Amino acid sequence: MAIICSVGKGIPIYEIEQNRIKDLVQNIFSYSEREVSRLLPVFDNAAIEKRQFVVPQDWFLVEHSFEERNDLYHQNAIHYTLNAMDECLKNTFLSEEVTYEDIDLLAFVSSTGISTPSIDTYLINERPFRENVERMPLWGLGCAGGAIGLSRVYNWLKANPTKVAILINCEICSLTFQKGDQKKSNLIGTALFGDGVSALLLIGEESIYRKSLIKPLPLIKSYSSYTEKDSTNVMGWKIINTGFEVIFSKSIPALVHTIWKNHMQKFLQQEGLSIDIIDAFISHPGGKKVLDAMVEALHISTEKLHYSAEILRDHGNMSSATVQYVLFKWLEKDMKLGTKGVITALGPGFSSEILLLEWDE
């Protein structure tokens, strides 16, 4: 098992309301009047009120090279991850302090920029991690990376039950925006994606810190991974001279009714559980249509997805970091012992990741 003890957030300083982004898009793209009436309602129907970005709105009005974008990614990934980690270690649900020197594993998940050595090495230079801290950089998991990263850290803690891990999800989606790409997938991405960083503190079941839990917290009990064959064209990046061009299929909500529904049903059956036993749905809100499809596919109460909708409204889709913001909301609640939950996210591949949680001491 692995116990989730804290979530810290790195929230960028530039906040833009959805209506303002919609106005910007009309100035950026040379749409005809007919195209405007056909395409721009996606901003109104996204159920997003505001998003945060690492760059001001004027940045989107001009072209940028891949080098410029990636330099900004590198700088901001380090800056906002440090903020998220500091908050994570400061605001734990533990009575005993956990310091950077106590961390045994540093996992770093991202899909929106490139760095070799990976960003986690720069974090080690900025904070007093031990020199023998283990590193786990994971790239290319997209929106599923929040859940898949947790599964990988869970496996590591299962093999090292006395140890402590910190998981970073760092996504700076704004820097991938392509001013010259007028395809509908780019417009949808512009209507949905924001920037955000999360840091999660996890301990193994035999950790010395387990005795200092100040309230019931979620234990990861098990997980399941699924990747659909021949579905690499559903979502992802096409690498072009100016950076990352988004691939975003309109079939994603429909795949919730098939791939995700079947995966969830088989996983719960394998665990001997029914859908009505699950009280906490910690779902990555890919978009309003995805959340609506989840409700319809398994007849889930919209209240169980309330926090997913709230995070989408206030931050947009921050790729892998989004589900951790949702998890933070559930961590703040006082949950009864034995409460069961699932963390679920969909991503490139086309992939589905599900983790089973149970609140325990």
**Could you report the per-residue pLDDT of 102-122, keeping only the tens digit for each?**
999 999 999 999 999 999 999
pLDDT level of residue 284 (50, 70, 90 thresholds): very high
Separation of alpha carbons 257 and 260, rounded Å: 6
Question: In angstroms, how far apart are the furthest CA atoms of the chain?
Answer: 64
pLDDT level of residue 191 (50, 70, 90 thresholds): confident
Domain 217-360 - what CATH class?
Answer: alpha beta
Catalytic entry in 88, 143, 170, 173:
143
Q: What is the pLDDT of residue 121?
A: 98
Q: What is the pLDDT of residue 250?
A: 78
Q: What is the pLDDT of residue 1?
A: 85
Q: What is the pLDDT of residue 183?
A: 80
For 2-212, CATH number out of 3.40.47.10, 1.10.3720.10, 3.40.640.10, 3.30.1360.120 equals: 3.40.47.10
Rounded alpha-carbon distances, angstroms, from residue 78 to 101, 155, 351: 19, 26, 28
Give residue 148's identity as a one-letter amino acid code.
I
Q: What is the tens place of the pLDDT at every residue in 208-251?
A: 999 999 999 999 999 999 999 999 988 889 998 999 988 887 77
Q: What is the pLDDT of residue 249?
A: 79
The segment(s) of the chain belonging to CATH 3.40.47.10 are 2-212, 217-360
In this predicted structure, the answer to whether residue 76 has a pLDDT above a threshold of 70 is yes
Q: What is the tens place of the pLDDT at every residue in 148-188?
A: 999 999 999 999 999 999 999 999 999 999 887 778 778 88
Q: What is the pLDDT of residue 190?
A: 86
Q: Which of 225, 244, 196, 207 is nearest to 83 (CA)?
A: 196
> Is 173 one of the annotated active-site residues of the chain?
no
HEC-encoded secondary structure of the chain: CEEEEEEEEECCCEEEEHHHHHHHHHHHCCCCHHHHHHHCHHHHCCCCCEEEECCCHHHHHCCCCHHHHHHHHHHHHHHHHHHHHHHHHHCCCECCCCCHHHCCEEEEEECCCCCCCCHHHHHHHHCCCCCCCEEEEEECCHHHHHHHHHHHHHHHHHHCCCCEEEEEEEEEHHHHCCCCCCCHHHHHHHHHECEEEEEEEEEECCCHHHHHECCCEEEEEEEEEEECCCCCCCEEEEEECCEEEEEECCCHHHHHHHHHHHHHHHHHHHCCCCHHHEEEEEECCCCHHHHHHHHHHHCCCHHHHHHHHHHHHHHCECHHHHHHHHHHHHHHCCCCCCCEEEEEEEECCCEEEEEEEEEEC
Q: What is the pLDDT of residue 157?
A: 98
Q: What is the tens place of the pLDDT at every residue in 248-264?
A: 877 788 899 999 999 99
Q: What angle do CA 203, 196, 108 make, to 5 degrees?
A: 45
Separation of alpha carbons 299 and 267, rounded Å: 17
pLDDT level of residue 22 (50, 70, 90 thresholds): confident
Buried b (16+ CB within 10 A) or exposed e, 85-121: bebbbeebbbeeebebebbbbbbbbbbbbbbeebbbe
Separation of alpha carbons 284 and 349, rounded Å: 16
Separation of alpha carbons 9 and 196, rounded Å: 8
In this predicted structure, the answer to whether residue 206 has a pLDDT above a threshold of 90 is yes
* 93 against 188, higher pLDDT: 93
Phi, psi (degrees; rounded to nearest 5) at 139: -130, 145
Q: Which of 105, 76, 297, 319 is nearest to 200 (CA)?
A: 105
Average pLDDT over residues 190-212: 95
How many C-beta neighbours within 10 Å does residue 82 have? 17
pLDDT level of residue 356 (50, 70, 90 thresholds): very high
